[in-house]
Structure 1
Amino acid sequence: MLDWLRLIRATGLFTILSNIMAATVAATYAEGNLDPKLIVSLLLQGNRMNLLWVALASCLLYASGMIWNDIADIERDRELHPRRPLPSGRISLITAYVVAAILAVASLLVASLVGSYGFYGAGIVLSLALLYDFAGKHVPYLGSLNMALVRFAHALFALLALGDLAYFKMGVLAVVGLFGADVAQDIPLSAAAYPLILGGYVLGVTLISELESRRGHRWELAFGGAILFAAVIAASVRLVTAHWIGSLQQMESYLLVVAGLFLGLGILGLLLYRVLRPWIDAVRTGRKALVGPVVGAALSGLVLLDALVATAFHPLAGLAILALYPVFRLTGRLIRMD
C-alpha cells in the first residue's frame, strides 16, 4: 500500500484540495461580497454533490497523472532512482498501466456527473497532463509552460464545485477578458487572478525542477525563482489592496481588518521563509544538488500560496486552507519518494 501511495505522490493530493478551496473562494468573493455563508450556500445549491464529484475527479486526475509520469520515466528512473516502486519491481509495469488507465477513465466519468462542462473540463486537464508526461517534460521551457497550464486549467475546472454554473463561466470569461477579448462589463477581471497566480507559481517551480534532470545555468535557476516570486508578489498585492479592507473599515470592524492582514502577512512570511532561503542558497552556490530542496520547498508552498490568495479575497478564508498545511507536512514525512 505504501508503494502505491508513493507512486501517486499522495502528499500532493492536499495541494489539489487547497487549489479547489482557493479557486472557489476567489470566485465567490471576487465581486466584493463578505458574507461567509455565501460560499456554503453556493456549494449546497443545485446538485449538492458537485463539490464531492469535483474533488474526487481532481484526485483521480492527479493520481492518474502521477502514475503515467512514472511510466514515462521508468527507463531513466532505473538508472537514477532504482528504489522507486516501478523500477524496483515492487509494482509491475503492467499493473501500473492498468491502474493509470482505470483512474483516467474514472476521473472523466466522475467529472461527467457534474455535467458536460465537467466532462470536457476534466478532459482538458487530463490531456494536458498526458502531453506533459509523454512529451512536454522533455522540451525545455515549453514543458514547464505545459505543466503550468495543467494547474491553470484545473483551477478553472474547480469552479464547477460551486452550484451556480455562472461562476465557472465568469472565471473563464475573466481570463479571456484579460487577454483582450471583448467580454461583458459586469465580469470582474479579478476572477482570473487565482488561475493566473497559480499558473505563474507552477511555471516557476517547474522551470527550476527541469534543472534536476538536465544541464542548466545559474541564470535559469534565478529566472525560475523570479517567476515563482512574481506570483507570490501578485498574491501579496491582492492582499494589501483587498476589497474587504475598505468594506470592513466602513463597518468599523477594525479588529477583523487587523486580524485578516495579520493572518495574510503571517502566511506570506512563512511562505517566504520556506522557499526563499533554499532558492538563494542554490542561486548563490550554483550547486545542482540544491535544486531538489528548492523544488520540494516550493511544492510545499503551494498550500501556503492558496491560503494567501484565499485571505486576499476574504479575511477568514485562509484559515481553512492553512489547516491543511501541517497535515501536508506530516504526510510528506511519512510517504517519501526515494
Structure 2
Amino acid sequence: MRQSKIFAHLQLTRPANVVTAIADILAGFAIAGIGIYLTSFSNQDAYLIDLAWLVLATIGLYAGGVAFNDVFDADLDSVERPERPIPSGRATVKSAAIMAFLLLLMGVIAAYQVSMTSALIAFAVALCAVIYDYWGKHQNFLGPINMGLCRAGNLLLGVSVVPDLVEKFAFMGLIPLVFVAAITMISSGEVHGKNKKALYGGLGMYLIIIAAIVILAFTIGGKPLEVIPFVALFAYMIFPPLVKAIQKQEPKLIGKAVKAAVISLIILNASLSAAFAGWLYGVLVLILLPISLWLARKFAVT
C-alpha cells in the first residue's frame, strides 16, 4: 500500500516531462556560452556545481508545478479522468498539495545556491506555474501565454549561470514561450476534440519556431550547419502527429500530438544548444530524449 502511494505521488510529477525541463537548463548553459565547457576537458568544476543546483531547481519547479495542476483539477478529474492519482484515491488533495509546495520551495532554494538572480527567476517560474494551474489554463488567450512564460523562465534559469547575461538573452525566452503556448493551444481539444482553429494555430507557431532557430544559428549562434540535423529531427517529431490530428480532430490523435510536442521540447533545446555550442553539445542534450521516452511509457505525459 505504501509503495502504491509513493508511486501515485510520483505520477503527479510527470517524470517524463521533468526530463524536458532539465534540457531547458542545458540549453540555457549553451546560450550563456558555458556549454562548451561541458563537452571539453576544461577544468570548470564551478560550472558543474552550478549545473547540478540548477538541474535540482528545475526538477523541483516543474514537478511541483504539474502536481499543483492535479490538486486544482481534482473535481474535474473525478469526472473526466478518474484514473488519475487523486480521484482514484491513491493520493489525497492535501498530500499532493504539501508535496507540490515543498518541491517548489526546493526549486527556489536550489536556484539561490547559484545566485540571487537565479532564485528570483525560479520564484517567478513557481508563481507563473501556480497561477496557470489555478487560473491561467481556463483562459483561452492568456492561458497559453501563461504556460509559455513558465518554460521561458526555465530556459533563462539556465542562462542565469552567468547572471549578467540574463537581460541580454531575455528575448530567447520567446522561443519556448511560443512553442509551449502552441502545445497548450493544441491540447485544448484533448478531451473533447473539434478544435480545428487551435490546431492550425499551433501548426503556424511551430513553423515560426523552426524559422527562428535557423535564423539564430546563422546570426548569433554561429553554428548554422550543425543545427540542421537537429531541426530536421524536431520537425519529424512534431508535424506528422499534428497533421493527423488536424485531419480527424479526434481527442486520441490530439493527445498524441500533444505528447509528441512535449517530448520534442528536448529536441528543441538540443537544436538551440547546437546553434550556440555545436553539434556535440546538442547530442549531449539529445541523450535526454530516450530517457524521457522511456519514462513516458511508464507515466502519463499529459
Q: Which amino acid aligns with 1:44?
A: D
| Residues 288, 19 of structure 1: alpha-carbon distance in 2 compared, 3 angstrom cutoff | same
Matches within 5 A, 1:13-52: 13-28=18-33, 44-45=45-46, 49-52=49-52
Q: Deviations over 1:15-61 (max 9, x none)?
A: 111111111102217xxxx965798869634x863222211111111
**Secondary structure at 1:267 match in 2:** helix
1:115 paired residue number:
115
Q: Structure 1 residues 95, 226: closer, same or farther in 2, change over 3 A?
A: same
Q: Which residue of 2 aligns with 1:181?
A: none
1:302 to 265, 282, 286: 265
C-alpha deviation, 1:214, in angstroms:
6.4
Instruction: Say which of 275, 278, 282 aligns to 1:318.
Output: 282
CA distance in 1, matches of 2:98, 2:7: 18
Residue 244 of structure 1 deviates from its aligned partner by: 4.0
- Counterparts of 2:87 and 2:51, CA distance in 1: 36
Q: Rg: which structure is higher?
A: 1
Cα deviation per residue 1:180-217 (whole Å; 9 max; x = unaligned)?
A: xxxxxxxxxxxx43x22111111111111122256754
Distance 1:37 1:54, change over 3 A: closer
CA RMSD in angstroms comes to 2.6
The Cα shift of 1:306 comes to 0.8
Aligned counterpart, 1:237 = 215
Do the aligned partners of 1:307 and 1:319 also contact (CA within 8 Å) in 2?
yes
Aligned partner of 2:3 in structure 1 is none
Gap change, CA 1:12 and 1:40, over 3 Å in 2: farther
The equivalent of 1:283 in structure 2 is 246
Hey, what does 1:200 align to over in structure 2? 178
Gaps of 5+ in 2: 1-5
Deviates most, 218-227 or 140-149? 218-227
Distance 1:119 1:237, change over 3 A: closer
- CA separation of 1:214 and 1:142: change in aligned 2, threshold 3 A: farther
Hey, what does 2:197 align to over in structure 1? 219
CA shift for structure 1 position 100: 1.6
Matches within 5 A, 1:100-111: 100-111=100-111
Task: For residues 77-136 of structure 1, give each alpha carbon's deviation from its aligned partner in whole angstroms, at most 9, with x where no partner exists.
Answer: 111111111110011222112212222222222222223223222111111000000000
Classify the secondary structure of the residue corresponding to 1:87: coil
Amino acid at match of 2:105: V
Aligned residues: 296
Q: Which amino acid aligns with 2:212?
A: A
**Corresponding residue SS for 2:82:** coil
> What SS does the corresponding residue of 1:121 show, helix, strand or coil?
helix
1:43–1:51: 8 Å Cα contact kept in structure 2?
Answer: no
Distance in structure 2 (CA, Å) of the matches to 1:23 and 1:126: 18
Separation of aligned partners in 2, 1:129 and 1:172: 22
Task: Check the 8 A contact 2:14/2:66 in 1, yes or no.
Answer: yes
Report the Cα distance in structure 1 between the residues aligned to 2:260 and 2:135, rounded to whole angstroms: 26
SS at match of 2:90: coil
Q: Distance in 1 between matches of 2:126 and 2:220?
A: 34
Distance in 2, Cα, partners of 1:61 & 1:43 = 26
Contact conserved, 1:20 with 1:155, CA < 8 A, in 2? yes
Amino acid at match of 2:10: L
Task: Indicate conservation of the 8 Å contact 1:209/1:291, yes or no.
Answer: yes
Residue 167 of structure 2 aligns with an amino acid whose one-letter code is V
Separation in 1, partners of 2:105, 2:220: 40
Residue 166 (structure 2) aligned to one of 166, 171, 182: 171
CA distance in 2, matches of 1:69, 1:219: 25
Q: Which residue of 2 aligns with 1:159?
A: 159
Q: Is the 8 A contact 1:268 1:308 kept in 2?
A: yes
Provide the TM-score with structure 1 as the length reference: 0.79
Counterpart AA for 1:227: M
- TM-score of the superposed pair, with normalisation by structure 2: 0.88
- Between the aligned partners of 1:3 and 1:232, the Cα distance in structure 2 is 37
Take 1:243 and 1:108, find their aligned partners in 2: how far apart are those partners? 30
Contact 1:205 1:225 (8 Å CA) reproduced: no
